[in-house]
Structure 1
Amino acid sequence: MKNEKLWELILTDREKRYDLICEIIEKYKKPVLCGKLNYAGENKNNELSQKAFKVLLNLLKDNFKEYMLYEKILEGYDGKAVIMALNISPINAKKLSISIEDSHPLGRIFDIDIYDLNKVPLSRREFGRSRPCIICTDDARECIALKKHSFEEVIKKTDKIIINYFKGDNENA
């Protein structure tokens, strides 16, 4: 790791986000959505990630507007995230989340987690789905575990997907 202090700050942000998710579940007694980007590397707050996050935020607001009880935008070293308490079953929320991730041109970099009342995120695998690797389309978890691709390679591909989306070239992302 290049900058251990920065990675500590990123991990602290993730812990704070999870703590907030737990607090919201306790308060509303409803499932919670956490939407953010899968953006590798240290700089999760660059211009491209900010633009992509706005797309994700608008999609989530549009798709979950009738179920939203609470919404908060978080900003930090781990990038932006949106937290929503939802008046919908966790299973239906996850199905809708998977649909967004699988159908939108930027969906490969979206990370939409649904936490149930036990404060556990529902897994795509529970729905017979896995997340494809952004580089080779194998199972992303396997590629990460095997370190098949460098951070630089993943960041370059992610940036290309975002750039092509805003240029209107979604076929070559």
Structure 2
Amino acid sequence: MRLLPEHATQRAVSIPELLASRDERQARQHAWLTRHHAPLVSFTVVAPGPIKDSALTRRIFNHGVTALLALAEKSAWIVREQTALVSASGPEGLLSIEAPAHDLKLATIELEHSHPLGRLWDIDVLTPEGEILSRRHFALPARRCLLCEQSAADCARGKTHALSDLLTQMEALLHDADSRNINQ
């Protein structure tokens, strides 16, 4: 389920392409839920800027896939099906996992908090009925910005930080994870 970083398109995507890609992801999610009747993990990489499929995002994605599979194994959860693909919105993983959706979401939130790259992952858990379990279901605050203590959504909306600074921070986090041999 790994993606080859050297095959990244490095292509800038437009807003209409990004919106269409998100609609396609929702359709894929629905099809998986219909097929498996089990909780679904939909995993993407936080990728600021117009280039969503890069060597950087694919390497971050691969760490996330490894961490998710290790989490399932450690928890003795069965992964019914898994796939990795790349869309206009970047790398995407889908994992149908036999586990209580609530427990799965709590475990993925912990993974996002404990892993050096967790802040760069967007791990959605959908119930078999299609409800997306979010941080607010667990009374947790919004995700923080990569560079400051403000809400990530607020900083993104206000374009508070330079794209180059965000990408530099992403590279630094990846380098840290690689140097500690996390999920290798």
Fold shared, TM-score > 0.5 on shorter chain: yes
TM-score by length of 1: 0.85
Choose from 15, 19, 25 the match for 2:27: 19
Given the alignment of the two structures, is residue 139 of structure 1 paired with residue 147 of structure 2, yes or no?
A: no
User: Aligned partners of 1:20 and 1:75: how far apart in 2?
Assistant: 13
**CA displacement at 1:126 relative to structure 2:** 1.6
**1:79-118 paired onto structure 2 within 5 Å:** 79-118=90-129
Question: TM-score, normalization: structure 2?
Answer: 0.80
Q: CA–CA distance in 2 between the matches of 1:169 and 1:67? A: 26
1:74 equivalent to 2:85? Answer yes
1:41 and 2:52 matched: no
Unaligned runs of at least 5 residues, structure 2: 1-10
**What is the CA–CA distance in structure 2 between the aligned matches of 1:165 and 1:4, rounded to whole Å?**
26
Structure 1's unaligned 5+ residue stretches are none
- Residue 133 of structure 2, aligned match among 122, 128, 132: 122
CA shift in 2, pair 1:119/1:152, >3 Å? farther
Letter in 1 for 2:78: Y
Moved more, 103-112 or 22-31: 22-31
Summarize the Cα distance change of 1:29–1:161 in structure 2 as closer, same or farther, 3 Å threshold. same
Instruction: Map 1:45-56 onto structure 2 (within 5 A).
Output: 45-56=53-64
Aligned residues: percent identity? 21
Question: 1:42-85 CA distances to partner (integer Å, 9 max, x unpaired)?
Answer: 21222121111111111111112432111111212211111011
Is the Cα contact below 8 Å between 2:12 and 2:52 reproduced in 1?
Answer: no
Of 37, 40, 44, the residue aligned with 1:29 is: 37
RMSD over equivalenced CA pairs, Å: 2.3
User: Which residue of structure 1 aligns with residue 6 of structure 2?
Assistant: none
Contact map agreement 2:12 2:51 (CA 8 A) in 1: no
Q: Match for 1:41: what amino acid?
A: G
Which one is further off, 114-123 or 150-159?
Answer: 150-159
Instruction: Measure, in 2, the Cα distance between the counterparts of 1:147 and 1:46.
Output: 21
Asked if residue 154 in structure 1 is aligned to residue 170 in structure 2, the reply is no
Q: Which amino acid aligns with 2:52?
A: K
State the alpha-carbon separation in 2 of the partners of residues 142 and 7 from structure 1: 19
Contact kept in structure 1, 2:13 and 2:52, CA below 8 Å: no
